[in-house]
Amino acid sequence: MSVAIELPRVSLRSLLWMAPRAPTLPRLPVFTSVEPPGNSSAKPEQCSCAKHRSGVRRSLPGGPMRLQLHVFACATACLLLAGCSEPETKSATSTTVASQAAANCATDLVKCARGGSLGDLVPATPAPATGEPIKLGMINQENTPVGSFPELSGAVKAALAFINKDLGGIEGRPLELSVCNTNFSTEGSAACGQKFVEEKAPAVLGGIDVFGNGIDVLADNDIPFIGGIPVSSSSAQRENSFQWSGGSWGTTVAFADYATTTLKAKSVAILYGDFGPIGESAEYGKSVLEARGVQVQLIPYPIVAADLSGPIQAAAAANPDAMFLMGADTSCRSLIEGARNTGTKAALFSPGACAAPAITSQLAPEVISGVIFNVEGPISTDTSNPDSELYNAVVRAYGEGLDPVGAGTVSFRSMMNLYRILVGLGATNINAGSITTALRATENTTSFMGHDFTCDGKQFRGLPAMCSPQQILVEWNDGALRQIGDWIEVGEIYEG
């Protein structure tokens, strides 16, 4: 049984319709600069997801409606990002071993790589790649008035520098990246897809694209879309998309499983931002809960709402055993503090992005203690994670100011998993068809900083792009995240 609590809603379509129309984009825009085309001195307004964004100004060209659209877009992007971006996994254990491993990686990246999941791929005597480049594409949202996520492309660029300079590229041929900016529009997303179709890119990496039209264009031309942040329906459902994440769908299923199997919850309230894919993920969690006899409240809230007390009170009033607080950025603190202030005894669950240091540092110990988050990689206990140490070392060497904490871990993982596929194919056999075939043939293949992956389209019902949707849950106690279980097979759980 489920109870839907209706609250005022704000739709993306209505806000876009009311807002001033953006200038028409050229069909094949050039996105090689991080500055806005035609105005190198302009500084776009950026969102404030976790600690990676600057604050939102209270005045924007175009008046109040432009501000409303800006805040809506930022909130949308942050909510979608919350499902699979990973917090700084500060564990409660000694850092002695990790520090030694980090020191080893800092002195020799190749030796460091040999000790992790890439060990079987490292050439015996690698030399810098100098041959004809293999050109890859990437679709991302950067340098726009409604949010910028350069850490996603920055992490991929760091990975390519490492592959080309330290691992010898692909049989001596370097990998080259062209990043296309969606400009947060359906037209821009589609134009990016068309750009890489015309350039005959063998594969296109994902960053963040709320709309996903570019993925549809690539699908129509049989070009694989690889990894990134799966936020659009296309990124999770199109046959050409391959994702090493469970997204927000995996988050709610993992929460539902733990709430029922470990906490024996009989009633659950799910608070979620009222926007397409986030609503879909709430339904995924609800489906698992109801199949196990749990009473579920679905409580949507407008993602631009400054005051969340209404939905929080509505959730607490039913005295649920657990509350899923599906928020991001500033709503993380509002939801967690608001829930605690009601005096509820419910177990609180929150997406992993809400465990970012910029957020947890603002919460009193008694407020955040016991909150359960999801992550997409184990938190080390007595040993360091060699892949994580390599990632940190590569970012230090080639990241050019990139912060290693945050969503860049997801796009870096995507690139290293694609690297595994490319090495297996060999430089002369790399094309869109061979990459797709190789990915579809994977079965329990080793992943970089993640769960082994199988890209047969059957790992998560309704979401064929998900190759490794598994999740891990952690609990905040004594100022640190503590892992509270092993991998959760969300695909099997949702299948029932």
pLDDT digit string, tens, across residues 427-437: 999 999 999 99
Q: Which pLDDT belongs to residue 75?
A: 60
Mean pLDDT of the 347-367 span: 92
Mean pLDDT value across residues 341-345: 98
Contact predicate 391/117, CB 8 Å:
no
Of 351, 347, 337, 333, nearest to 254 (Cα)? 351
pLDDT of residue 83: 59
Q: Is the pLDDT of residue 36 over 70?
A: no
- pLDDT given at position 404: 84
pLDDT confidence of residue 47 = 55
Local structure of residue 320 (DSSP, 8 states): -
Output 108 or 16, whichever has higher pLDDT.
108
The whole-angstrom separation of Cα 227 and Cα 275 is 22
- Strand order of the β-sheet with 175-181 is 175-181, 134-140, 204-206, 225-226, 241-242
Mean pLDDT check: name the lowest of 139-148, 278-287, 328-337, 469-478: 139-148
Which of 34-38, 55-59, 116-120 has the highest mean predicted lDDT (pLDDT)?
116-120
Task: Tell me what pLDDT residue 329 has.
Answer: 73
Confidence check: pLDDT of 203 > 70: yes
- Tell me the domains of the chain and their CATH numbers: 96-246+386-469 (3.40.50.2300), 248-380+476-495 (3.40.50.2300)
pLDDT, one tens digit per residue, over 370-415 is 999 998 888 765 456 899 999 999 999 999 888 887 788 999 999 9
* Residue of 237 and 496 predicted with greater confidence: 237
Task: Collect all residues with Cβ–Cβ distance below 8 Å to 162 and sequence separation of at least 6.
Answer: 109, 394, 397, 398
User: For residue range 155-193, what is the model confidence (pLDDT) as tens digits?
Assistant: 999 999 999 999 999 999 999 999 999 998 999 999 999
Query: What's the mean per-residue pLDDT of the chain?
Result: 84
Percent of the chain with pLDDT over 70: 78
Listed residue (489, 484, 495, 407) closest to 452, CA to CA: 489
18-32, 122-136, 307-321, 359-373: lowest mean pLDDT where? Answer: 18-32
Q: CA-to-CA distance for 496 and 491, rounded, in angstroms?
A: 9
Interval 66-123: pLDDT, tens: 445 555 556 666 666 665 555 554 444 445 555 556 677 888 999 999 999 999 999 9
* Cβ neighbours of 279 (radius 10 Å): 15
Segment 417-438 shows an average pLDDT of 99
Of 18-32, 126-140, 299-313, 328-342, the range with the highest mean pLDDT is 126-140
pLDDT of residue 124: 94
Pairing, β 372-375 against β 472-477: antiparallel
Average pLDDT of the residues in 327-339: 90
Quote the pLDDT of residue 80: 60
Of 55-69, 74-88, 353-367, the range with the lowest mean pLDDT is 55-69
Query: Could you tell me which of 315, 381, 306, 378 has the C-alpha nearest to residue 349?
Result: 315
Whether residue 48 is predicted with pLDDT greater than 70 in this model: the reply is no
The amino acid at 130: T
Question: Are residues 189 and 146 in contact, defined by beta-carbon separation less than 8 angstroms?
Answer: no
Residue 127 has pLDDT above 70, yes or no: yes
Q: Return the beta strands (E) in 275-341 as ranges.
A: 295-301, 322-326
Q: Per-residue pLDDT for 463 more than 80?
A: yes
Residue by residue, what is the 3-state secondary structure of the chain? CEEECCCCCCCHHHHHHHCCCCCCCCCCCCCCCCCCCCCCCCCCCCCCCCCCCCCCCCCCCCHHHHHHHHHHHHHHHHHHHHCCCCCCCCCCCCCHHHHHHHHHHHHCHHHHHHCCCCCCCCCCCCCCCCCCCEEEEEEECCCECCECCHHHHHHHHHHHHHHHHHCCCECCECEEEEEEECCCCHHHHHHHHHHHHHCCCCCEEECCCCCCHHHHHHHHCCCCEECCCCCCHHHHHCCCEEECCCHHHHHHHHHHHHHHHCCCCCEEEEEEECCHHHHHHHHHHHHHHHHCCCEEEEEEECCCCCCCHHHHHHHHHCCCCEEEEECCCHHHHHHHHHHHHCCCCCEEEECHHHHCHHHHCCCCHHHHCCCEEEECCCCCCCCCCHHHHHHHHHHHHHCCCCCCCCCHHHHHHHHHHHHHHHHHHCHHHCCHHHHHHHHHCCCCECCCCCCCECCCCCCCCCCCCECCCCEEEEEEECCEEEECCCCECHHHHHHC
Predicted pLDDT of residue 277: 85
Look at residue 25 in the predicted model and tell me its pLDDT: 31
Residue 455's pLDDT band, with cuts at 50, 70 and 90, is very high
pLDDT for 70 equals 53
| pLDDT of 30 higher than 80 | no
> So what's the pLDDT on residue 29?
30
Q: What is the distance between the alpha carbons of residues 323 and 203, in angstroms, rounded to a whole number? A: 40
* pTM of the complete model: 0.82
Shortest CA distance to 160 belongs to which of 173, 150, 148?
Answer: 173
Query: Which amino acid does the sequence have at 440?
Result: R
